[in-house]
Structure formats: structure tokens, C-alpha cells
Chains A and B, each alone.
Chain A
Amino acid sequence: MSRKTRTRLANLFFRDIPIVLFLIFMLFPFYWILNTSLKDSIDVISIPIQYWPSHPTFENFQGLISLGFDRYFLNSLFVATFTTIIIMVLSLLGGYAMSRYRFKGRTVVYIMLLATQMLPAVVLMIPLFQTMQTLGLIDNLWSLVIVCSCTNLAYCMLMMMGYYNSVPVSLEEAAQVDGCSLMGGIIRILIPTMAPAIVATGAYAFINAWNVYVYAVAFINQKKMYTLPLGLNAFQGEFGTDYGHLAAGCVVALIPVLVIFAFLQKRMAGGATAGAVKG
């Protein structure tokens, strides 16, 4: 057996086949959701199992609109967008301070930020509900924006701190020597340099806010204020589950996340590891 053949066989068994198996394993649930969403209510439960619908139909997607799913989509978009904006502004500035300044109690602040990540959502749910009730924000999407921002901010700030640490201070100093203010240096020099990192952090914040469920159950009562996860849960009733609409709803809910990954994956791949090693 030639060396070339050996290399090809090694690549086949240790690279190509594992990758294909991994892809099948990862993508099968997504394929199955899509497959189910295109079936009518009879085909969904038909035996033998249909691996592709015999009569593909978009009636489940059309049905979503009559069930108010368009509203849920816009509500989720509102929460995720504003949460991402708030988190990005605050974590850019907070991360810079944590990275560049040496102040008294810095370590304590760092530990406190980490400690906030140790509390599960269900523990915070009751006190946060009471706070939102006092603020008159029950059944208001801003309650979710505020809570998602608060709960994700610490982690995003620490991510940003890592990215700032990887950018040499001399870059900023050079900008300031050339006449930039502190804020000007951050905006004109650091942010463009850290674009992949910012995109990764923003995507993290967006996806977390997009999927928020526990707080949404607590703060939202009225259907017109439902976000997508609440809307999806409504398809699972006391005496049956509407699998067709549930699958169609999942496909719709996946779209923004897939779009983010499709357009930003190159930047995210770089950004996710940018702060891992201090330069």
C-alpha cells in the first residue's frame, strides 16, 4: 500500500467518516423539525414513518399567523434586539474599565460579577417578579429586556474584558498621541480591531434573550405579549400536542439564529477565541 493510499485511508476513517457521522447526528433533529413542519396533522403520526412528507404543505406555517405567532416573533425580536444593544454598550464600556484600570476592589468586583452567574433563573424569579410588579412592568416586554440585560451583562462584560486584554495598550496610546480622546480611541481604534469579538458577544446576548423562557413565564400573562418560547409551549395542551404547528413554530424560531450564524460565523469563530490568550 502506497503512502498516498495510506494517507487517503487515514483521512477517510479518521476525518471524513467521523465528520459525516457528526453532521448526521447534529443535523438530524433540525431535518426532522423541518420534515414535521411540512406534514399535515395525519401524516405527522402516520406509520410507517415518512422521512419526507408525501404531500408537503405549508398549512402549519399559515396556521401560525392565525394563532398570533407573528406577534410572538416581533415580541421576541424586540426583547432580543434591545437586550443586545444595552448589553453591548454597557459591556464595551464596563469591559474596558475592568481591563484597563487598576482600582481598589477590582478583584472583589470581578468575583462579584462571576458570582452573579452562579444563581439559576428559578432562584431569582420570585424576587424579580416582585420587583417588576412594583415597577408596573408585568405584561410589559421591557421587564424581559431589563432582566435579560442584567443577567447576561456580567458574562458579556467579562468576555469583553478578555478581548480588551488581548489588544495592546500601545495602540490606544498611539491614538491618543495623534489627538484622539479616550472615547475616541475606543470607538475609532479598539472597536474596529475587536469587531469579531464584539460580534461574538452580541450574538451570545441576542441568542440568550431570544430563548428566554423562565422569566417570560413569570412576567408575561397576556397572549399579545408572548415571546416565541411561550408561544411554542402553548402547542402542548392538556390532552394533546399539536406537533405540526409546534414544528413549524420551531422552524420560525430558528430563522434569526441561523441567519446570525450564517452571516457572522467567520467573525464569531475568530471572536470567540480572541480573548482566550493574552497577547
Chain B
Amino acid sequence: MKKLLSMILALCMVLSLCAFASAEGERKTISLWYHSGDAITDAYYTEVFNKLNESQDKYTFEYTSFAFKDFQDKFQNAVITDSMPDVVSLGFSNISTFTAQDSLLPLTDEILAQVENFSKVDAGLTTNLRNIASGTLYGIPFAYNQEVAYVNTAFLAEKGEEAPKTQKEYLALCEKYADAENGKYFTTLRGVRPYDSMLAWLFTYTDGAGFNGSWFDDEGKCILSRPEFIEAMEAYAGIYKNKWCSGDSVNNNYNEICAEFDSGVAYYLVHNSSSNTNHANALGADNFKAVTVMANDQGHYFASGLQPNVFCIPKSKNPDHDYSGAIVLMNELLSTEIDGGLCAALGRVPCNVEVQEQDWYKQSDLMMLCAGYLTDENYKQILNPYWLADFSTMITTDMTADFQAVLLGEMSAADCMTKWAEQIDEYQAEYLAEQGK
């Protein structure tokens, strides 16, 4: 009997040890959902994640990317069914939508203290992110695109022209080189999702009406309906109405404006730094260059505040959920080596300031141009009210329809600007009421 008992006890001990050993050796799976997968990003992150998994035995890090078009629905679905990943990358404009749904974890000081690489992230960018969520930080930026102008240098050299530095010089060149008969124009115009380039034009033209890029005056009223903004809109729409750009412009999205520039239909393009590689492939690196966007008579130039991509931690419905693995992964992804490698591969502007010491960054004219914005006193950020939950929908849907109507002469510039100002005032009033102000 004793023998049997001792055997059973021994067996129990062996089994317990086995169980303990297997529990200790079990790696916790931590997943990243990347919001805009492509061949370059996928190849880069797959290699990075393999290295991360080999370098430690506590976690298995999983990388999953989605087509940009699918991601919003995919993440929305995950939020509803509480099947979210541990870490997610988001576009800047999506943050308000998901914070309004309470689906992102607020990154408190306690959490941020554990993300060692957070201290390397540009403080100005995180301030912008806090501003859109009443002071709370919901994501850490890792890369952004800067609004720049691309000029076809081969064309300018042939014509003996300089790249336009001011809106007046630009309009003169638009008129001079518009050749509708042969389908050649100096410039492109974006009719679909026109907000970034259009707002840059409006705020630069009006010098922001003296409010330093804010959409609101001292009394909290939206300034878009002021006469100077209406005049600015008329001048901008005049580029299309005067046939100084292609007739297709009313339906041009970013693909089309880039295609017009790349195919030599237009010689000047306002777009963000993301398309630089495509232009180099199409035109040849020596036949174009990126320059700062147009200034006004005061020398000031405005562009939408930097809109970085961010890493966020989705908020679990389980109050006891353990976020430690997500924090570890986020910290790794923000490191100088990994963030720098991604930005170098994609041609994006890094948010980790230590990346600015890397050779690829210092040797890139585009990066130097983007960095120059941040130290140029003439550069003014347009402080888009991303804190308004409906703002993202307004700029993508309403602004497209209304701007197209203005281009086609179905709506006056005054009616358009008044409508937008009223919408913003309404959203702001709702926001302030929610905040109890």
C-alpha cells in the first residue's frame, strides 16, 4: 500500500513539474494590426517580428496587416465583438472616431513610464495628439507625412522659370502655361477629398485671418465664413473655372493628381511626402524636386497640422486585462532602430527624434525639407479641430461634395464657406456641451 501511495505521489509530482515547466515555457501571443499593409511594410515588419521573437522567450509577437480600404471595417468589427489585437496602428483622423467609442486605452503617465522609447518621440507631435482628445493621449506617433509641393524641374529649366514661392507667382504660372488644347497644365487640382491642399490654400491666402491657424476667432466662432476666406475660395476655384487645370480635376483624388504630375500633364503638385518615391520612378529623380508649399505676401505658409500614424492599445472590455505585453511590443516598435528602418524603407518622416541622426535621414533631401518646416518661423500649422467627432466625416464627405459643387458652379463660394462655418460651429457647440463648458 505504501509503495502504491508513494508511486502515486511521485507521479503527481512529476506531472506537476511537467505542468509547471510547460506553463513557464509558454509564450504569450501579442498581436499587432497594421492599418495599411503593402509589400514593403509587410516584408520589413515580418523580418522585425522574427527577430523580436528570436530575441526573447516571453512573448510571441504576431504581425497582421490589412488593406487600407478594409481596415476601418475590420477594426470596427473587432471593437464590437471584443476581438481586438493587443496593439493597433491607426491613421491620425481615425483616433477621434475610436476614442468616441471608448475603444482605445488612455495612455496614462504610468503606462508611458513603461514605454521607454516614448521619451524619444517628438514632443510637439504628442501635444497635437493630446489636443484632439481633451488632454488625454491615446496613441504614440511613429511616422508622418508632410504637405509639400512637387515641381517638374526639367520643365522649369526648359522654360527658364523658377518654382513659384508665393500664391501670386503660382497663379501667374497657372495662367501662362495652361494649354487645354494639348492637355497640358502648370498645375493639378484635387476635387475629391480636397481638404489638405484646399485648407492650406485658404489659410495661406488669408494669413489665417490673424488667428495663427486656428479655425476659431477670439469669441469661439468659426472664421471660414469671413469675406477673406470666401475670396480665397473663389481664387482657388478659379483655377478650375479658368481651365488652368485639367477638366478631370473635379473628380481627381490623390491617385489622379499624382498621375497627372507623373505623366507630365501637370508640372506642379501639392501633395504629401508619401508620393516622392512614385514621382522618382515615373519622372526620374533628377527631373523633379520637392519644395515648401506656396507662401503669401507676408511670407507665411500654412499646412494642416502634422497628422502622424500612431500606435494605440485597444481597450479590452475585461477590466482585469493585462496590457504588459502590448506595452513591450509598442516600446519595441518605437525604438530608434525599428522606427528608423520603417521610415527609411517607406520614405516617411520619423517621429523618433533619434532617427534624425541616422545617415539615410541626413542624406535625404526630402527629410531635410520636412525637418525645415519644423524650425521655419514662417510655417504655420492649421489647427484642424480633430477633437470634433464629426469633423473626419465632414472633411471627407461634405467638403468633397460642396467643393465639387463650387467648381461646377452649382454653389457659390460664399454659400459653401458659410455652410462649413455653420457646421463647425454646430459641432463645436455640441462638443462644448458634452464637456460641460
Give the interface of A toward B (CB within 8 A).
41-42, 45-48, 67, 125-126, 129-130, 133, 138, 217-218, 221-223, 230, 233-241
A and B contact pairs by CB, cutoff 8 A, 13 listed: A42-B281, A45-B282, A47-B264, A129-B81, A218-B77, A222-B64, A223-B42, A233-B70, A234-B67, A238-B35, A238-B36, A238-B91, A239-B272
Q: Cβ of A217 and Cβ of B64 under 8 Å apart?
A: no
Q: Is B68 an interface residue (CB 8 A)?
A: yes
Q: Cβ of A240 and Cβ of B68 under 8 Å apart?
A: no
Q: Which residue of A41, A125, A221, A237 contacts B64 across the interface (Cβ within 8 Å)? A: A221
Q: Report the bound CA distance from A238 to B282 in whole Å.
A: 19
Specify which chain B residues have a CB less than 8 angstroms from the CB of A222 in the assembled complex. Answer: 64
Q: Cβ of A236 and Cβ of B68 under 8 Å apart?
A: yes
Q: Report the bound CA distance from A234 to B77 in whole Å.
A: 19
Q: Which of B143-190 contact A (CB under 8 A)?
A: 145, 183
Residue of A nearest to B70 (CB): A217
Give the interface of B toward A (CB within 8 A).
35-39, 42, 64-70, 73-74, 77, 80-81, 83, 91, 145, 183, 254-255, 258-260, 262-265, 272, 274-275, 278, 281-282
Specify which chain B residues have a CB less than 8 angstroms from the CB of A221 in the assembled complex. Answer: 64, 66, 74
Specify which chain A residues have a CB less than 8 angstroms from the CB of B282 in the assembled complex. Answer: 41-42, 45
With both chains docked as a complex, state the minimum distance between the C-beta of A115 and any C-beta of chain B, in angstroms: 24
Residue of B nearest to A44 (CB): B259
| Given A41-B281, A218-B74, A233-B67, 15 other A-B residues pairs in contact with their CB atoms under 8 A | A42-B282, A46-B263, A47-B265, A125-B77, A129-B77, A130-B81, A138-B83, A218-B77, A230-B67, A230-B70, A233-B69, A234-B38, A236-B67, A240-B254, A240-B274
With both chains docked as a complex, state the minimum distance between the C-beta of A14 and any C-beta of chain B, in angstroms: 36
With both chains docked as a complex, state the minimum distance between the C-beta of B244 and any C-beta of chain A, in angstroms: 17
Q: Cβ of A237 and Cβ of B68 under 8 Å apart?
A: yes
Q: Report the bound CA distance from A138 to B78 in whole Å.
A: 12
Q: Cβ of B69 and Cβ of A236 under 8 Å apart?
A: yes
Q: Report the bound CA distance from A52 to B80 in whole Å.
A: 48
Given A45-B263, A48-B183; A133-B83 close (CB under 8 Å): yes
- 10 nearest interchain CB pairs? A239-B274, A45-B259, A238-B36, A234-B67, A238-B68, A233-B67, A47-B263, A45-B263, A47-B265, A221-B64
Q: Report the bound CA distance from A217 to B72 in whole Å.
A: 11
Q: Report the bound CA distance from A230 to B74 in whole Å.
A: 12
Q: Report the bound CA distance from A47 to B67 in whole Å.
A: 29
Specify which chain A residues have a CB less than 8 angstroms from the CB of B259 in the assembled complex. Answer: 45
Residue of B nearest to A138 (CB): B83
With both chains docked as a complex, state the minimum distance between the C-beta of A240 and any C-beta of chain B, in angstroms: 6
Residue of A nearest to B73 (CB): A217
Specify which chain A residues have a CB less than 8 angstroms from the CB of B77 in the assembled complex. Answer: 125-126, 129, 218
With both chains docked as a complex, state the minimum distance between the C-beta of B306 and any C-beta of chain A, in angstroms: 16
Residue of B nearest to A122 (CB): B73
Q: Report the bound CA distance from A234 to B80 in whole Å.
A: 24
Q: Report the bound CA distance from A46 to B70 in whole Å.
A: 29
Q: Report the bound CA distance from A234 to B74 in whole Å.
A: 13
Specify which chain B residues have a CB less than 8 angstroms from the CB of A42 in the assembled complex. Answer: 262, 281-282
Q: Which residue of B39, B67, B258, B265 contacts A67 across the interface (Cβ within 8 Å)? A: B39
With both chains docked as a complex, state the minimum distance between the C-beta of A148 and any C-beta of chain B, in angstroms: 18
With both chains docked as a complex, state the minimum distance between the C-beta of B145 and any C-beta of chain A, in angstroms: 8
With both chains docked as a complex, state the minimum distance between the C-beta of A140 and any C-beta of chain B, in angstroms: 15
Residue of A nearest to B80 (CB): A126
Residue of A nearest to B271 (CB): A239
Q: Report the bound CA distance from A275 to B289 in whole Å.
A: 66
Residue of A nearest to B272 (CB): A239
Residue of B nearest to A232 (CB): B67
With both chains docked as a complex, state the minimum distance between the C-beta of A63 and any C-beta of chain B, in angstroms: 9
Specify which chain B residues have a CB less than 8 angstroms from the CB of A238 in the assembled complex. Answer: 35-36, 68, 91, 274
Given A45-B263, A126-B81, A217-B73; A237-B65 close (CB under 8 Å): no
